[in-house]
Structure 1
């Protein structure tokens, strides 16, 4: 059950809204005026942020928080929400995710309705009533000492991350077929890789094709890769899929949507506050967004964001 803190940081500044009109292939684009109207029923000015690229979106969120926004709302999928989280993580500024993308795992896993208009109603009511639900985030630290990143749902550092990296390098085909082709290419090249993990200081070495570190249970639009992850327990769930061959991996993949893959004998699950992860040639993906090359350190940060629920 999510914790509740009432009447924390009553907004005085405007409600800043980051909206991604291309999220979910644009199917919710026409809802934005109604979403803004419903948010406006909370009695606070609503300010729509301007951004043309993901980097501009993240910068606009940081600027809005620095300028005294009373709350930040992100309308889009996990990628849009990921950008917004960078600005509110570790602050008192409350946050409302409106799920309007292809993958809406963080919003749904933290209790928001899957319907965008219903989620906007929940956020507006929380603003009116001063409700805040603090939940954990994961802090991602690079080995080279670069700036930390935050994520809300899951970090992928195995076959799924390799497929994303392949798809992002491809110029065609466009749309979801590019991702499907990337899967086929990487399946043909599938091989276990040697991973070194340190979980709360305890070392592990494994040969694996899948490694996921979850603050929440799901990624990829409802795939319950870390089915027991709880974003209020102060811990990260680590799921490792071992020496799978192609046929076994494809047979197990449908089980991930139900979370039953963790019973497979080649899958191991762990829980830790701090996860250090090493492997050669892997770029991690957090909330579906390209993150940091391994090695990385991931730390559970309790109550790092205050959700408007």
Structure 2
């Protein structure tokens, strides 16, 4: 699933915006741009309080501080981000309705669902804000003290162990399926429509992947035990927890957060939005908060983001196909 290429004019405008962000004379023309001249709506396809919502609001505070315009976060949860994505795809392409979303929207949903009310070509990627490691957790009372303990048990009893997720085709499902494929293991998937971590804490479910933002507080509170993280290396928030890649080289199962606008959004608006976001990303306090949540700051621009999206979609499409993951 591919996004349309940037025009030469857009690339030049982005370059000018970057100069402006750095306070250089080349950005003087863009400084007269009226964007943003009013409040900006940021659609987050998740309920309040979860990781994308928390970080989107944090980014919004930075946007307001830099531009003087408020950011109104509109939570549109449900249907694996489909409801929120559809709302933005149908919004005016003027830069005042943005989509803050995760990998499901463009890298997983197109391969899980037979029909979607949006397509990648309805959007332009502006910037990938961060990477979201998942943490493989089990109950603190579990006999699995290490990833190796879990692997030995799973090999000895195929399909006997259970793993939870936030639903069929969700990142927490597909990422764990990806690891099981690489490890040659079989476990029984138990999809949830609501919170699944309480059942992991209680030992009713053997393991689950949870986003670092949710998992780290639970680990620090002694409610769950972390067995591994899905990022290529260990994360600062859990330095003693190994990356799954240490045992299974090459494995990566992270999600991400990124900002998108409807197609036909003016190039100058996209460039101004990118420049402001990169200023936010350069703020040491903002980056420190991301790291404290176990997140990895990225901040890349549209060209790098587009290339990443193509690679990300190919990788997750294979997992969906190999595991026959479908949803209505």
TM-score (norm 2): 0.31
Pick the structure with more helix per residue: 2
Higher-Rg structure is 2
Pick the structure with more strand per residue: 1
TM-score (norm 1): 0.33
Higher relative contact order (CA 8 A, sep 6+): 2
